[in-house]
Chain A
Amino acid sequence: MLAYAVNRILLMIPTLIGVAVLVFFMLRIMPGDVVELKLKADGAAVTQETLDLERERLGLDKPLLAQFGDWMAGVATFNYGQSMWTGRPVAYEIGIRLELSLQVAVMATVIAILIAIPLGTISALYQNTWIDYVVRILAIAGLAVPSFWLGMLMMLGLLIFFNWLPPITFTHFYENPLENLSQLIWPALAVGYRYSAVATRMTRSTLLEVMREDYIRTARAKGVFERLVVARHAMRNALLPVVTVIGLEFAFLIGGLVVTEQVFNLNGIGKLFVEATTRGDYTMTQALVMLVAFFFILVNFTVDLLYAALDPRIRYR
């Protein structure tokens, strides 16, 4: 088990290096750079000299390979430099926004689990009845409705029925939990619905599969109450793939927030990402992509370990 974990950690490194290389060169293909976007923003006449000076300051005048070397060295030492747009350290800019996005992500996950596991179970136990059809249609609809649109509808509903809109400024949870939740519960619901749809479908299909297993028949033959058969024998095995899906979706949630944060005007990682890419802020975009990729790989790794821990049949050599 330990050897497996170490091996997996070592395998993460080449993937992360790959991400770092890919994102660096992808961004450099982009025509026009941050300097032009920043200084010529208002159509101001800027001399070539000023542009060159700014490029030199940001290190954009160096040869590509030298820039690449700097970037890789930064990655290795966890020093991501300054934002090319604001001039503040990338780590600082991300740090002040990460809390908000993470909180929304965690809340959305809780909402998704609370919805998905009961609904998926009921749907599987009453397969091909009207309950099953309603749940399945709800789940497929959850995959179809764009979460940013759902967010807009929520705001519209709040405005029409309560003549109230969620607060715009972020309050820390430990400062004023009510204020904090009244702002963040809506994006969490909007994203959580889609998230729950994925998990509901997974719960349903794995539970259906497990319920056909021999040991379920054995348990029933022994005269175990149906409730216990489902809760003890079936659920334990059915939940494994559900855990995987929840884990993987959690990693993607940070990405999913990109659009939803715009709707709710939340100053989180997603909004920062859109701003960074459209402004040509290389350092910021690179750092954010690395962060998201790292997060994704880490979650993947955790899910795999959890899998091995939960299922004695899966023991890696």
Chain B
Amino acid sequence: MRASRTLAVLLIVILALVLLAPIYSVVMAGLREEGRISFAWFGDVFADPLYREGILNSFYIAAATTLLTLIISIPLALISDSYDFPFKKLLLLLLNAPLILPPFVGAIGMKGMLSRNGGINELLVSWGWLQQGHTIDFLGSPFWSCVIVEALYLYPIAFLNAQAALANLDPSMIEAARDLGAGRLRSFFGVRLPLIRSGIFAGASIIFIWSFTELGTPLMVGFRRLTAVQVFDELQTTAPQGDAYALVVVLLAISVIVYALSKLVFGRPVQTITPKAGVAKIVERKTGFKALLLLIPFVIVLVAATLPHIGVMLTSVSSNGSVSLHPADWTLKHHENLIGVSETSSEIRELAVHSVENSAKYAFAATTVDLFLGFGIAWLVVRRRGRLTFMLDAMAMLPLAVPGLVLAFGYFAMTQTGGWLSRLDPISHDPTPLLVLAYSVRRLPFMVRSCAAGLEQLPEAMEEAAIDMGASWKRTLSRITLPLLAPSFLAGGVLVFSRSMLEVSDSLILAFDRSTYPMTKAIWSLAAIPSSGMESASVLGCWGMILLLATFAIASKVLGKRLGGVFRL
């Protein structure tokens, strides 16, 4: 008991240091002007029309993206909850496809497909629906481009949350409503929606905060009047001034308010009484024409969601600057360039190859750190419930509410204040420790949730039985707890690793030297090369996708049916 309390306190202190210290650094940097505390920087920020516009645009993008993800995902969740139809399992798995490609790479693919000389226009021309020279620029509005690209990346979060909330709903609640004469609509709005509201808001708040502070997508789309991009630009030019920090604090403040509102006001779960013997859910089986009708929304979403992936692949094999759907026009020369088969710039080659190595190294280290931290935290939270471990749980979940950009900027700020932390300064030193720290802190919630879910499934009596049989806690851990939790470790590990491999905001902000670039920053850097930059960037994006697909395939082989749980939050 005492040992676990000490461990809990220790973990809380560690989390406080790695989470709260960077936030503190940013806030202090935003508040300090010539050694004094002042709100001058905030005054500057709100006085500047460009910054004001940036904040408003960020807010609009986040609101529109969140709304769009809900519009996409709730109907799909409702259909999959109530009906069974052919290919349902495959479709549900494919719905997760967006998660293997970060949206800023997806944006390149979208450009390849939807721009004036993109694949879709080529298709429409070849069908005779459009004339050459009168093609449509589907991406005319950078604002909506960002919203669509981000929503197509983020909808699985909303879908999985809605699906989980619906699955947890006791079907007899709905049956009772129907039994008392409520129609389909009334039982949906009167009973089902209020009961799944908290689940939906949990997903929606994560999506809002994510898109509110997203940096990669607007950078790629070329939408510069956003707070996240303005902060990043500040970092690129000179040593950031106080106004950059103040902007980050504004982002943080709005995120925290949104998160708190969604948790405290809209997201409060309804207190339910769980009956001992639940009623089995009746899922209607549909076949034939009706099944086809149910398939349509899934197919539409899937086509839209895989458009960026296809676009990235096609861009990486495009030959003359325009994406073509004809295999005859495809070329492997960009791939060859990056692997180094052909004789081109060794600089590009080194950047690409090194970035893959770097990302693998950072992601592997972060996964290892999270395995230890995540299991320790989850065990305490599940097995030693109390005020202390409740706090620990809340701390471990905090990275979900703190935007990656804020945390990354915070780590940067910490190293700029002098003292021993300046030895971690990513500008002049190896950024590995800082990147591993940032990756692992940001992905910690996934690992904690995965382990906690596993532990909750594992009755404590399993461990007690071993202790009762005379096993020491070490033996109990190694022979009972860890073997039984292996699937949770793998699921959590795969998620942490894959998310870290293609992590964006920390990578863009904390890697300064080309030799230390992770894949995402290399993609960003390649895309900026005037000739064939997009193609090279797409090649690297392709590799990333293939790598993650392979990871998921291996994990699914081991985990079997439980792979779906990998994505659940």
A is bound by B: no
Give residues in A with beta carbon < 8 Å to B. Answer: none
